[in-house]
Structure 1
């Protein structure tokens, strides 16, 4: 037993010595190789290859021989090893092919590369190794061939998907890359990878291939839901909500989702001001699932989406406003006033107060809403802000500030609280208390809400720009009073006063703001030509003032959306990019310009 133990210890010692020598030899060989001492490197790699064959050692050994002007020795070695070392035969075939490539013999190279793949077909592990070797040798297309073969051997249609995606893209095989990405979507755990990969094609010259590939896949495998979901995702990225809705309806019926995803799409369309598609989404739910849980919400949102359409079509049609109120009333009669329909009361009140000048009716409806929704603090506070606005319409600002301040206190450090603070700042501005207004606005410029911070910044700039050099602040006071008239929907009176200001303060710094305010008022009155003229005056006379880029960008929007003059819109957007390179409208102007030009290249 003692003799046997000594033998084992001796063997372990010898193997450890060999391991240490192997590690040292590998380090020495690599150092020679990196230093360009190829003869010494070849000698060291030759020793190492007798103990273990790896791709790195083998490829560096052959390279070292070639660099030492021993190309024939390298070829003889590879041919000999192909016959005698079956487990690593594929490596020798690959390197033989690589040497043939270097000598310009493409036929022999192709033969050897194909043989390397064939020699590895006995297992996916071998194919993976030879694919890695091909990739490191710079033969990417053969790496692809090896992985495609490995996929066939594994009988897993999505095996090696991420590797193949990258290799297809690296070799310019865009259609195959996209096809691979879409195929990978069948693996639910790869969803984020797939979306990130497809996002890389959005707004590029290859984007049309994505939609084409998705439709092809759906036709080939109509029962594969993952493809349908990808197509919906693609349409949403492109803000093609109506087309996304068609797909969502089909998915909803197929999976019996009770309208949940159609509802989500409707909300997304609403947030993107695609009110027509939003209304269609909610209407689908109300007609398809009249007994469903989403019905009360969708019933209100159908009307709400149409309301937004009416309110954003200038001039606002009062007949349509009355129809909306009737729709809300019918809905409340059908479903009743409860937590699911409370927002309908708010909407009804605001339509009465803001568009039909029935302020007392609006206040009555809001009081009812507050009473019914008293358990929901946020809802009550939103109603209080609405009441504050109605009182301001009535010319009772003291009631307004009382309500705004209540919400400010109730919703401290919350979005609704910041909104209330902004309304209080505007009240001070309307009254002509510009210093007080500015103090509040300076606090709001740090608000977490980007929209509120931007509004505060804009109003603060107007105050600073037009009060510093004018000790009487007379022009600014008149401007603020006109702003209040516009809030109160007294547009005709506001325009008359703006016209008088332009005559009275022709040389004042406030002129560009007056023109801007009048242009936006004209748009609400449906007077497109007059609005466009005022915007052009701002750009011509005050190109470097704070409203220069606003005026130029909005010219583009008018040409694009109202006048349907594609070329004029493109010209305006291009000027935003060239004349106002730091403008906040830069990204949107570039996006619109490219969409009009039909050029999706980044």
Structure 2
């Protein structure tokens, strides 16, 4: 049977080419088309087999004689073969046949390849002149100019057609060409002009500008865009100019100047504070709490609806709590209760109630009062999702109290009541984290495996990090002593007991030398030192990771955060630059690569675009 299969196989090898040849002779296109298909022609072209490509493109053109695509392919292939005279004849023949001014450009470009530039320009100008009779030719003409990188001629064509086609707008095409030429000012201006024509283009314009502006307000493109926007505000203060100027200041992390523009926008159209609210969140997330509080205070004075007022109040109190003294914390508690007196303890103030429960437990240390308060929130007429939010915070408070089993009950209830929701996934992660805190590493790991495919990227990343920590360290010591200490330190950090967490990590460093958990311990401790402003100690930890754990997974983290300490806190830019350079050249796959390159170039004095 096997022998028969082999005989049949070789029979097919011999007979198929014969059949194809016969079909070609008979004019049957089914199999013969394989030899003249566009894919095959393109493949010949890519491999530099231009004679074969030319033959294939001619056959395709014979089948579709009115296809400009194949006309251009034949011209291009002639030129690749440097058969310029044949290309010239072919172009002229088709020029008579089609009467397309785009072919005048092909004729000119063919002459340019033969170094007849003056004659080439004659044909280019002749093509542009046809726009006087039919300005709609602008699209085909400019496409051929751009194909051959004849950008100046394309610009002339667009500018000639613009007054002839007043209903059209070519700013977007001109902006793209000016960008390719490196003429940033004209590129910016054309994008801005296009927004007047098409306001919905605003977000696309921001994406285009983002390729040129940076965090550095002294960057040349930042200065240029800022000047253009300020000039336009003086001449014609359209709202979108204020919006773009605000956006530029946000890119530079200058939230105060952005706030000025947003207030100007709001005063012109005081319908919504959403943009200003969003700006406050940006400032808060970018570690500028004072500016965020200032913006929230403005929102509080300007808002008319209770929901916005409550949200602003909540953010202000949360910001104040982060740096409050014991006396200030008592005053913040009073402020919360004043708000409940004013707005009531109803479904409408649920977010404020959850924030208050968090404040009582994590800042004032009044966990029991916090729990009792939030349990009363569960008796309100709230949705299952809102109930899940309350239970999530109740579970956190129980973890804070190290009442792990009770916390797990709340988290499990959320999973059962809100299956497949984002809140359910967060609850599962908290189940895993709580099990990890209590030393049940196997159960924690089983939950984390499920969460690796979470729809929430943040949860998925956190789950993966915790799973790797457990799996990498649970087998080294049968008693899992070091891992238990690490989990204890993690819990202390959750309880805002950072100094105790640091001391617990010290025990791992002294008692478990040589174990795989050491690099993770050094890194976690370094981040805790940073939270306390102890940058020299954090620096020592990062340096030790670099010197002793060069092959560890945290090596690029250590390089990056050490560079940040040198640049931001220790004012040693040259040290920072060498560390950013290390990431650029040795860790191209690092998540810090893009930011490291940006900071390196800035420290080197480059103009970043």
TM-score tier after normalising by the smaller chain length: 0.7 to 0.9
1:285 alignment partner in structure 2? 299
Q: 1:436 to 1:152 in 2, by over 3 A?
A: same
1:470 alignment partner in structure 2? 477
Tell me, yes or no, if the aligned pair for 1:30 and 1:41 is still in contact at 8 Å: no
Tell me, yes or no, if the aligned pair for 1:266 and 1:281 is still in contact at 8 Å: yes
The answer on 1:328 being equivalent to 2:345 is: no
| Structure 1 residue corresponding to 2:419, chosen from 399, 412, 420 | 412
2:375 alignment partner in structure 1? 367
Q: 1:499 to 1:216 in 2, by over 3 A?
A: same
Higher mean displacement: 448-457 or 184-193? 184-193
SS in 1 for 2:493: helix
Higher mean displacement: 445-454 or 138-147? 138-147
SS in 2 for 1:497: helix
Q: 1:533 to 1:47 in 2, by over 3 A?
A: closer
1:145 alignment partner in structure 2? 156
Tell me, yes or no, if the aligned pair for 1:279 and 1:303 is still in contact at 8 Å: no
1:485 alignment partner in structure 2? 492
| Structure 2 residue corresponding to 1:101, chosen from 118, 138, 141 | 118
Is there any run of 5+ residues in structure 1 with no aligned partner, and where? 1-19, 70-97, 104-108
Is there any run of 5+ residues in structure 2 with no aligned partner, and where? 1-61
The answer on 1:528 being equivalent to 2:526 is: no
| Structure 2 residue corresponding to 1:55, chosen from 101, 123, 137 | 101
Provide the rounded CA distance (Å) in 1 between the counterparts of 2:212 and 2:296: 31
Provide the rounded CA distance (Å) in 1 between the counterparts of 2:528 and 2:256: 31
| Structure 2 residue corresponding to 1:241, chosen from 255, 260, 271 | 255
Q: 1:472 to 1:249 in 2, by over 3 A?
A: same
The answer on 1:444 being equivalent to 2:451 is: yes
**TM-score (normalised: structure 2):** 0.75
SS in 2 for 1:506: coil
Provide the rounded CA distance (Å) in 2 between the counterparts of 1:40 and 1:466: 70
**TM-score (normalised: structure 1):** 0.76
> Could you say which structure has the larger radius of gyration?
1
Provide the rounded CA distance (Å) in 2 between the counterparts of 1:63 and 1:574: 44
1:261 alignment partner in structure 2? 275
Tell me, yes or no, if the aligned pair for 1:121 and 1:127 is still in contact at 8 Å: no
Tell me, yes or no, if the aligned pair for 2:242 and 2:264 is still in contact at 8 Å: no
State the Cα deviation string for residues 426-472 of structure 1 (Å, max 9, x = none): 22222222222211222222222222222222222222222222223
Query: What is the aligned length?
Result: 537
Q: 1:191 to 1:524 in 2, by over 3 A?
A: closer
Shift of 1:210: 2.5
Tell me, yes or no, if the aligned pair for 2:412 and 2:427 is still in contact at 8 Å: yes
Provide the rounded CA distance (Å) in 1 between the counterparts of 2:542 and 2:112: 73
SS in 1 for 2:590: coil
Compute the RMSD of aligned alpha carbons. 4.1
Tell me, yes or no, if the aligned pair for 1:32 and 1:38 is still in contact at 8 Å: no
Higher mean displacement: 112-121 or 257-266? 112-121
TM alignment of 1:163-182, pairs within 5 A: 163-182=173-192
Provide the rounded CA distance (Å) in 1 between the counterparts of 2:141 and 2:504: 81
1:162 alignment partner in structure 2? 172
1:399 alignment partner in structure 2? 406
Provide the rounded CA distance (Å) in 2 between the counterparts of 1:600 and 1:384: 51
State the Cα deviation string for residues 343-401 of structure 1 (Å, max 9, x = none): 222222212211222111211222233333x4132222122122122222223222111
Provide the rounded CA distance (Å) in 1 between the counterparts of 2:147 and 2:458: 51
1:457 alignment partner in structure 2? 464
Provide the rounded CA distance (Å) in 1 between the counterparts of 2:297 and 2:259: 12
1:74 alignment partner in structure 2? none
Provide the rounded CA distance (Å) in 1 between the counterparts of 2:558 and 2:422: 30
1:214 alignment partner in structure 2? 229
